[in-house]
Amino acid sequence: MADNIKTLQAKICITGNLKILTGLHIGGGGNTSAIGAVDSPVIRDPLSKCPIIPGSSLKGKMRTLLAKLYDDKNTGILGKPDNDNYIVKRLFGSSDPIQPARLQFFDIFLQEESKKSIEKLDTDLYLTEVKFENTITRTTSQANPRQIERVPAGAKFQFKLIYNLEKMDEYKEDMQALYKAIILLKDDYIGGHGSRGYGRVELSNINVTVPVQRDDVNIDKEQIAVILKGGK
């Protein structure tokens, strides 16, 4: 394990807006619900009761999208995460061999301004809406109605990533891969029911800061921001 731990050159902080384009459902894990209650509630912050996007949801989706893009074997079927492309493994981590992830994800919270805007709307629940859906069994034509809680379209969240810069000759390649993940996410979704139109999101207003770095390291944060916005 010690051979896989690199010297830390700098920590790069990447922040921006995550806007919900279509209703988002990331389940809260409830197994039962009272009569008349929503069948599938969203996950919420236990203190503020606001809906949140777990960092694990964003990390898992970005890793899967990049793993598909960088599929070395071209089999069309993803294997274990430890068999991902080396760029994916150094960004998101590996257990065999042990390789700490360079990217650190944070839970994503609703922006205060967006919270106030949604509070003014006539939504079904606190800061969320209820989507009524109905599935029909083909063989019997039996209906199966259900209620799914969603974060409404237009809600804005503030996301934050930390990138551990370990090798100066690799960080630009890593940033280019992260940019590809951002673009892939735009044409995909997070959360559940994405094939039915849920969970479309957009990342924007990306900002880069370098809160700490070694004295002998010079980081061009403006160049990193350009890469993450599609430049070279």
Which tens digit of pLDDT belongs to each residue from 89-109?
999 999 988 889 999 999 999
Find all residues with CB under 8 Å of 185, minimum gap 6, and list them: 61, 62, 65, 201, 203
Query: Could you read off the pLDDT of 157-199 as tens digits, one per residue?
Result: 999 999 999 999 999 999 999 999 999 999 999 999 999 999 9
User: Who wins on pLDDT, 131 or 141?
Assistant: 131
Q: Which helix (H) or strand (E) holds 91?
A: helix 86-92
Phi, psi of 61 (to 5 degrees): -70, -45
Measured between alpha carbons, how far is 208 from 33 in angstroms, rounded to an integer?
43
The pTM for the full model equals 0.88
